[in-house]
Amino acid sequence: MNSEWAKLEQQLPAMLEESRKQAAKGNVAEYIPELAFAPADALGITVIDLQGRMITAGDCRLSFTMQSISKVYTLLLALMDNGEEGVFAKVGKEPTGDDFNSMLKLELVEPGIPFNPLINAGAIVISSLIHGADPDEKVERILAFFRKLADDPSLSYNKDVYLSEKRTAHRNRSLAYFLKDNEVLDEDIDVEEVLDVYFKHCSIEINCRHLARMALVLTNDGVDPHTGEELIPRRYVQIAKTFMISCGMYNASGEFAIQAGIPAKSGVAGGILALVPGRYGIGVIGPALNKKGNSTAGVDLLEKLSQAYDWSMF
């Protein structure tokens, strides 16, 4: 393993430059206007191991918003707040095969609960399950949890991205009102308040090091590798990692499982959080996306790394 680390350190910069070429095949997300300002040809990566060693390459300093990556950790907080039964009464456990913001199956399949917590409809329901007296308290609890996981007390959400999404989220708004009509969001729930929590956690600003560190806690079964504190019960980490394999890369999760075979979660700002179980936490940023909403260069780099170092779990 030590020799793998040394090889990785040596080979990563060249591999990254090779994968960067894939950025030209993608486009930066524009449906949230503020995301369109991201540098399309950027690619960066940070890898951290359980001893706390770190390797970085490319544009690893770039700041960006978590977007859908945050859904893995709001799911974990919702599980810690409500238990498995409470959560899975409201969201399912199956991939959809549809786009992440699709409404299709909500009407098509009874009982109208979202198929899983990583599509937008599912994550909006998860936002409604986070404990807190009001939206501000819920957001504060999410931030406090994420700060511990990322080991950075200054973590916060990006106001410009939050407001940009809030202004333009017609589709998410329609999903949420549909869920309210289906009574998946209870009668006493204010839809706009739930959406506000959702937009804010999607707008949490991070860099590759934060992602790698958040992944490392999952790699280590929920235990902070440095303090030894249990931050997440192991059972819930197991659930989150399973969802990352089956749904983490949207409707390209099957393809990614075949090519890379490691748990991962992408977001439309171009971030990917990935982990090599028992070994590494990985954060990647590459803002240019393919049609399914995953970073073109980021996916290419993770697939090449996994194949070169035999990381697939399968």
Annotated binding site for substrate: 68, 120, 165, 172, 198, 250, 268
User: Closest Cα partner for 20 from 47, 39, 1?
Assistant: 39
Based on the shown chain and the rule CB under 6 A, indicate whether residue 67 belongs to the binding site for ligand GLN. yes
Catalytic pick among 73, 198, 236, 280: 198
Pick between residue 12 and residue 272 the one whose CB is nearest to ligand GLN.
272
Shortest distance in whole angstroms from residue 266 CB to ligand GLN: 7
Pick between residue 56 and residue 294 the one whose CB is nearest to ligand GLN.
294
Q: What residues contact residue 227 under an 8 Å CB cut-off, 6+ apart?
A: none
Q: How many residues bind ligand GLN (CB under 6 A)?
A: 11
154 is catalytic: no
For ligand GLN, the binding residue among 64, 73, 100, 115 (CB under 6 A) is 100
The answer to whether the beta carbons of residues 65 and 269 sit under 8 Å apart is yes
Catalytic pick among 68, 70, 164, 253: 68
- Lay out the site mask for ligand GLN across 272-311 (x = CB under 6 A, - = otherwise): ---------------------x------------------
Beta 54-58 vs 64-65: how paired, if at all?
A: unpaired
| Ordered strands of the 264-266 beta sheet | 54-58, 44-49, 280-285, 271-276, 264-266
What's the distance, Cα to Cα, between the start and end of the chain in Å?
A: 19
Shortest distance in whole angstroms from residue 124 CB to ligand GLN: 8
268 is catalytic: yes
Beta 64-65 vs 205-206: how paired, if at all?
A: antiparallel
For ligand GLN, the binding residue among 120, 158, 219, 296 (CB under 6 A) is 120
Q: What is the chain's Cα-based Rg?
A: 18
Give, as one character, the DSSP assignment of residue 159.
H
User: Closest Cα partner for 27 from 271, 295, 301?
Assistant: 295
Reported residue count of the chain is 314
Pick between residue 220 and residue 251 the one whose CB is nearest to ligand GLN.
251
Shortest distance in whole angstroms from residue 100 CB to ligand GLN: 5
Torsion of CA 270, 208, 5, 229, to 10 degrees: -120
- Interface residue list for ligand GLN (CB under 6 A): 67-68, 100-101, 120, 165, 172, 202, 267-268, 293
Catalytic residues: 68, 71, 198, 250, 268
